[in-house]
């Protein structure tokens, strides 16, 4: 066997041992988080000789021209600064990089299927940035999927969708608290899912069933689509006999109706028979002021007695007689 082949095998052993060690339990984090400055290469899985070598072998410099992916690598990859290298090594071992599946590889522009992608990077000394939650949240929001909310004051729907959100944490304790959150677990699942082509993962993003629902009686084929992939496949469903329904968690209809119309009419460029909206925030007190309109649709809604909630349907006027 050649030296280069042997070297490649050693690197793969290192990557797999790092992922397996940290995904299996939190013992590495628990042993070292109070004394990171005492962390030594001998404490690491795979027998690395130095922190710099460990990071260089774990995070291979991306062979891409995507500037964002290069910047992420710069914040998590090897560095000649010993203190930074030690902290990055601790983070990468405690919260191991993810092998990107086909779904995120297709939907997240700065990664690809098979990429070994960091969960966190070093933003500055003792401050770490989550690299997976914002891309996942953007995908889920744009697709109108239910998702766990991020507990961060500096992150909101607007800066998530426009790509300017920075989800960062001070110190490793806050970072681990976020790592254990439901929102982060959803993001990990998204990044590792293989877009329904792998039998083990095809239902990975579906919540567990607690009672019988319509899918128990009628088989409904369903896939996730980005706006781009939806536009590519929509010609297959644009027939006189098709019936289409779109749902969006609008988070205040009065405030976000314009965004909703832009998303549906302009970006998707498809005329749905019914457009469902939730979290309208139309209450009993303000329902008379509701002037929500989309051309070609009539609007029916149920107000909420609370400060949040509320549901509504925009119904194609040509379909009303049939509903």
* pLDDT of res. 234: 72
pLDDT > 70: percent of the chain? 78
* pLDDT of res. 321: 60
* pLDDT of res. 202: 42
Q: For 111-144, what is each residue's pLDDT tens digit?
A: 999 999 999 999 998 999 999 999 999 998 888 8
Confidence of residue 305 (pLDDT cuts 50, 70, 90): confident
* pLDDT of res. 240: 62
Q: Quick one: how far is CA 234 from the chain centroid?
A: 24
- Mean pLDDT in the chain? 81
Mean pLDDT of 30-41: 94
Q: For 161-215, what is each residue's pLDDT tens digit?
A: 888 999 999 999 999 999 999 999 999 999 998 855 443 444 445 444 444 444 4
For residue 241, pLDDT beyond 70: no
* pLDDT of res. 201: 43
Q: What share of the chain is helix, strand, coil (3-state, %, to 5)?
A: 45, 10, 45
* pLDDT of res. 238: 62
Confidence of residue 3 (pLDDT cuts 50, 70, 90): very low
What whole-number distance in Å separates Cα of residue 298 and Cα of residue 58? 56
Whether the CB-CB separation of 312 and 276 falls below 8 Å is answered with: yes
Q: Who has greater pLDDT, 302 or 18?
A: 302
* pLDDT of res. 239: 62
Q: Who has greater pLDDT, 122 or 323?
A: 122
Q: How many CA atoms lie within 13 A of 102 on its CB side?
A: 10
Domains of the chain: 3-192 (no CATH), 225-322 (3.60.10.10)
Q: Who has greater pLDDT, 217 or 286?
A: 286
- Which residue is it, tokens 């961060």? 152
CA dihedral 199, 184, 128, 105 (to 10 degrees): 30
Helices (H), 201-311: 227-233, 253-261
Q: How many angstroms separate the first and last alpha carbons of the chain?
A: 70
Q: For 4-26, what is each residue's pLDDT tens digit?
A: 444 445 445 455 555 444 344 47
What whole-number distance in Å separates Cα of residue 304 and Cα of residue 318? 28
* pLDDT of res. 29: 93
What whole-number distance in Å separates Cα of residue 118 and Cα of residue 55? 11
User: DSSP states of 164-175 as a string?
Assistant: ----EEEHHHHH
Q: How many CA atoms lie within 13 A of 274 on its CB side?
A: 15
Predicted TM-score (pTM) of this structure? 0.57
Q: How many CA atoms lie within 13 A of 293 on its CB side?
A: 4
Q: Who has greater pLDDT, 189 or 261?
A: 189
User: Pairing relation of β-strands 274-278 and 245-249?
Assistant: parallel
Beta bridge mates, 301? 312
């Amino acid at each position: 066997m050649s030296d280069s082949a042997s070297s490649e095998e050693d690197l793969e052993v290192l990557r797999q041992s790092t992922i397996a060690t940290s995904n299996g339990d939190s013992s590495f984090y628990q042993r070292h988080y109070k004394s990171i400055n005492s962390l030594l290469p001998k404490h690491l899985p795979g027998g690395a000789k130095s922190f710099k070598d460990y990071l260089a072998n774990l995070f291979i410099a991306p062979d891409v021209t995507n500037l964002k992916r290069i910047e992420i690598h710069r914040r998590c990859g090897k560095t000649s600064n010993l203190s930074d290298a030690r902290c990055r090594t601790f983070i990468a071992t405690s919260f191991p990089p993810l092998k990107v599946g086909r779904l995120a590889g297709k939907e997240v522009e700065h990664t690809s299927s098979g990429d070994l992608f960091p969960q966190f990077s070093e933003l500055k000394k003792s401050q770490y940035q989550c690299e997976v939650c914002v891309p996942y949240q953007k995908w889920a929001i744009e697709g109108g999927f239910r998702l766990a909310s991020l507990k961060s004051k500096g992150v909101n729907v607007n800066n998530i969708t426009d790509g300017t959100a920075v989800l960062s944490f001070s110190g490793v304790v806050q970072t681990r608290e976020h790592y254990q959150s439901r929102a982060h677990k959803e993001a990990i699942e998204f990044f590792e899912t293989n877009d329904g082509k792998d039998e083990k993962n095809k239902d990975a993003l579906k919540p567990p069933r607690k009672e019988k629902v319509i899918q128990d009686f009628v088989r409904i084929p369903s896939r996730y689509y980005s706006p781009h992939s939806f536009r590519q496949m929509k010609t297959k469903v644009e027939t006189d006999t098709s019936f289409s329904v779109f749902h969006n968690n609008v988070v205040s209809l009065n405030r976000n109706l314009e965004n909703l119309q832009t998303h549906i009419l302009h970006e998707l460029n498809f005329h749905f028979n019914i457009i469902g909206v939730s979290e309208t925030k139309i209450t009993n007190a303000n329902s008379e002021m509701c002037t929500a309109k989309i051309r070609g649709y009539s609007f029916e809604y149920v107000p909420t007695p609370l400060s949040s909630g509320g549901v509504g349907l925009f119904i194609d006027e040509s379909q009303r007689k049939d509903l």
